Structure 1
């Protein structure tokens, strides 16, 4: 069988007990039932797609991509598996290769994806747009997942468990941490749609504004800041006139803000 390999790589069969999980593996949750299904497939047809590894000395290898296949092969009772050996990558590239492989396959949970994108962006000092290019996704895709990192741990667990959708998670991420667990629990208990949750949150914050009440204007400004991800300042008078200022620091940040407001660069 032919495998596509990069320069400096080769395909070999390696004993399973010589392969170790990758140090920067972002995937933490492996569904046992899904692993059993894959193991049964491997028993019947063998492992068709090789894992990707690199040598780490003493005859051992580190997984760069394919931990799920490696685990399923163990369950299937295999002694060795096909592997692409990539000894041409350094520590930094090894981490990036594993991250990109998982992100492109969309094999991570929502929170694993969020943390993976954060890790990728930090290691390579990438903007949201550049990170999106590296994994073949849109900038909005990257921004939406990174917003999930604003969720408290309890809500993150609900998202990973599938109790809340990405739409629910994005709505909850705009709330202060102290309020997120309550609204997440209410959403799961009543099985609210995303639109219902958003409507409930609007009702929660909808209070009349009055002239001279700076606290109310500041409160609304904070809520808009949380919603848009950029600092918002509001001022108004009794006649309903006023101004709203949205601050940004780079053109890229402005582009992201315009996307969230529904504009596209092609409109200009």
Structure 2
């Protein structure tokens, strides 16, 4: 542990207060709150419980090992934040990665700042800290915003001040939660970005949303290509057959020839029927080079 931290040894009086098993400090009026809150001390890791309101359950193991290696060399430079609860125990407010990394390398104690926090404040601080992380996926951020609204009863305006984000930014994240759960999962797994999600929100029909989502995955469409696809779709009733409606059966001469045409152009060619024996052949392209390649084949 860093020497600078070890100098903050506990006096007998403070040690006794911290070990008082009967006290919980969640208000400035609680017993000994003025003597304990605001101090930075070395606390045994075994006496600290993780934050039950922590909205994040997954911690990247490789990232934790890297942090543990740094802590082993330099010590914990920034103290974790805790609150005093009953039974001579403490609860994490923030700093769970530092807490986990310290346990990983066998440290027995950790420098901790003791602050005042009730259950609602614990949840709010955990959510706000979570939102500030750079490695969160858009749906994790959106869910944190939603919890702040529902459980802390914050308006978007109040939340904007708390997290230092524009109200329009918060609104854009919250809109992502209107997407189909399959698409939300795709965003969490990194198959598409927030930009893709924002484009898909503009499609009201769930089947059409999922249809374009599949195209994004299969054809590796950019955000701009997705936006154009959505724009094109909005000029038509639907790109997918609707349920409980009769779907025109593809004639045999088309089903037999479509594979040959698709192989020739190197893309899955789409057929849009306009009657029993007429329609359109649609050849997709994904770049200027791809377009020129198809043009040469047609020439």
- Under a length normalisation based on structure 2, what TM-score does the superposition of the two structures give? 0.62
Whether 1:12 and 2:38 are equivalent positions in the alignment is no
The CA deviation string for residues 8-35 of structure 1, in whole angstroms up to 9 with x for no partner, is: 3221122222222212111233212111
Partner residue of 2:76? 47
User: Helix, strand or coil: the match of 2:227?
Assistant: helix
User: Helix, strand or coil: the match of 2:63?
Assistant: helix
| Cα pair 1:27 1:108 within 8 Å, conserved | no
- Under a length normalisation based on structure 1, what TM-score does the superposition of the two structures give? 0.69
- Per the TM alignment, residue 157 of structure 1 is displaced from its structure 2 partner at its CA by 2.2
Residues 151, 78 of structure 1: CA spacing in aligned structure 2 closer, same or farther, 3 A cutoff?
A: farther
| Cα pair 1:155 1:184 within 8 Å, conserved | yes
User: Helix, strand or coil: the match of 1:81?
Assistant: strand
- Per the TM alignment, residue 141 of structure 1 is displaced from its structure 2 partner at its CA by 1.4
- Per the TM alignment, residue 168 of structure 1 is displaced from its structure 2 partner at its CA by 0.8
Unaligned regions of 5+ residues in structure 2, if any? 9-33, 238-299
Partner residue of 1:26? 55
Tell me which moved more, 118-127 or 60-69. Answer: 118-127
Residues 200, 95 of structure 1: CA spacing in aligned structure 2 closer, same or farther, 3 A cutoff?
A: same
Tell me which moved more, 137-146 or 147-156. Answer: 147-156
Partner residue of 1:151? 179
| Cα pair 1:132 1:138 within 8 Å, conserved | yes
Whether 1:113 and 2:141 are equivalent positions in the alignment is yes
Residues 156, 72 of structure 1: CA spacing in aligned structure 2 closer, same or farther, 3 A cutoff?
A: farther
- Choose the corresponding residue for 1:79, options 67, 85, 108: 108
Q: How many residues align?
A: 204
Partner residue of 2:121? 93
Residues 81, 181 of structure 1: CA spacing in aligned structure 2 closer, same or farther, 3 A cutoff?
A: farther
Q: Distance in 1 between matches of 2:212 and 2:57?
A: 26
Q: Distance in 2 between matches of 1:200 and 1:184?
A: 11
- Per the TM alignment, residue 135 of structure 1 is displaced from its structure 2 partner at its CA by 0.8
Q: Distance in 2 between matches of 1:58 and 1:170?
A: 48
Tell me which moved more, 8-17 or 190-199. Answer: 8-17
Whether 1:186 and 2:215 are equivalent positions in the alignment is yes
Cα RMSD of the aligned pairs, angstroms, is 2.3
- Choose the corresponding residue for 1:162, options 190, 208, 225: 190
Tell me which moved more, 132-141 or 101-110. Answer: 101-110
| Cα pair 1:65 1:102 within 8 Å, conserved | no
Q: Distance in 2 between matches of 1:163 and 1:131?
A: 29
- Choose the corresponding residue for 1:204, options 233, 241, 265: 233
Q: Distance in 2 between matches of 1:104 and 1:169?
A: 20
Unaligned regions of 5+ residues in structure 1, if any? 209-268
Residues 109, 28 of structure 1: CA spacing in aligned structure 2 closer, same or farther, 3 A cutoff?
A: farther
- Per the TM alignment, residue 107 of structure 1 is displaced from its structure 2 partner at its CA by 5.0
Q: Distance in 1 between matches of 2:170 and 2:62?
A: 29
